[in-house]
Amino acid sequence: MKKRLCIIVPNHWSHVMGGSPYESKVLIETLNKLNRYEIFYLTKQIGSDYIPEGYQLKSIKGGKTRRYGEFSNAFSLLKLLKEIKPDIIYQLVAGANTGVASYYCKHNKCNMVWRIQHDHDVSPPGWKFSKIPLFSYIDNRILDYGIRNATYIVAQSQLQMDLMEKYYGRRADIIIPNFHPAPPEDILKEKPIKVAWVANLKEWKRPEIFVRLANDLQHLKGVEFQMCGKPSMQNYQELKSRIDVLDNLTHYGECTQDEVNQLLAKAHIFVNTSMHEGFPHTYMQSWMRKVPVVSLEINPDGIFDSGLLGYYADGDYEKMKAYVVQLVEENNLRKNIGDSAQKYAFDHFSAESQVDRLMEIFEK
pLDDT at residue 20 greater than cutoff 90: no
Q: Which of 72, 90, 71, 74 is nearest to 9 (CA)?
A: 90
Residues 205-215: tens digit of each pLDDT: 999 999 999 99
Calculate mean pLDDT across residues 328-343: 97
Q: What is the pLDDT of residue 129?
A: 55
Q: What local confidence, expressed as pLDDT, does residue 64 receive? A: 66
335 vs 281 pLDDT, higher one: 335
Percent helix / strand / coil, the chain, rounded to 5: 45, 20, 40
pLDDT in tens, 303-315: 999 999 999 999 9
Model confidence over 104-158: pLDDT tens digits? 999 999 999 999 988 888 887 544 455 667 777 888 889 999 999 999 999 999 9
Query: Residue 38: how many CB atoms within 10 A of its CB?
Result: 16
Residue ranges, comma separated, of all CATH 3.40.50.2000 domains in the chain are 3-179+351-362, 193-348
Q: What are 253-276's pLDDT values in tens digits?
A: 989 889 999 999 999 999 999 998
Rg, C-alpha atoms of the chain: 21
**pLDDT attached to residue 261:** 94
The amino acid at 271:
V
Class in CATH terms, 193-348: alpha beta
- HSE, CB side, 13 Å, CA atoms: give it for residue 260: 25
Q: Which of 189, 201, 215, 237 is nearest to 341 (CA)?
A: 189
Mean pLDDT of the chain: 92
Task: Grade residue 68 by pLDDT with cuts at 50, 70 and 90.
Answer: low
d(CA 353, CA 177): 11
More confident residue, 288 or 72: 288
- Position 132 scores a pLDDT of 65
CATH classification for the domain delimited by 3-179+351-362, as one of 3.30.1440.10, 3.40.50.2000, 3.30.420.40, 3.40.50.300: 3.40.50.2000
**What percent of the chain stands above pLDDT 70?**
96
Selected residue with higher pLDDT from 329 and 61: 329
Residue 143: C-alpha distances to residues 6, 78, 128, 323, 357 (Å): 18, 15, 11, 40, 25
pLDDT at 235: 87
Contact present, 40 and 84 (Cβ < 8 Å): yes
Residue of 91, 119, 26 lying closest to 353 (CA atoms): 26
Residue 25 scores a pLDDT above 80: yes
pLDDT for 67 equals 64
Q: What is the pLDDT of residue 178?
A: 87
Q: Which residues contact 111 (CB under 8 A, 6 or more apart)?
A: 87, 88, 89, 105, 151, 152, 362, 364
pLDDT at position 1:
82
pTM exceeding the 0.95 threshold for the entire prediction:
no
Evaluate the CA torsion angle 74, 75, 80, 81 in order and state its sign: positive
Q: Which pLDDT belongs to residue 72?
A: 83
> CB-based contacts of 303: which residues, under 8 Å, 6+ apart?
283, 309
Average pLDDT, integer, range 214-228: 97
Per the model's pLDDT, the better-predicted residue between 20 and 342 turns out to be 342
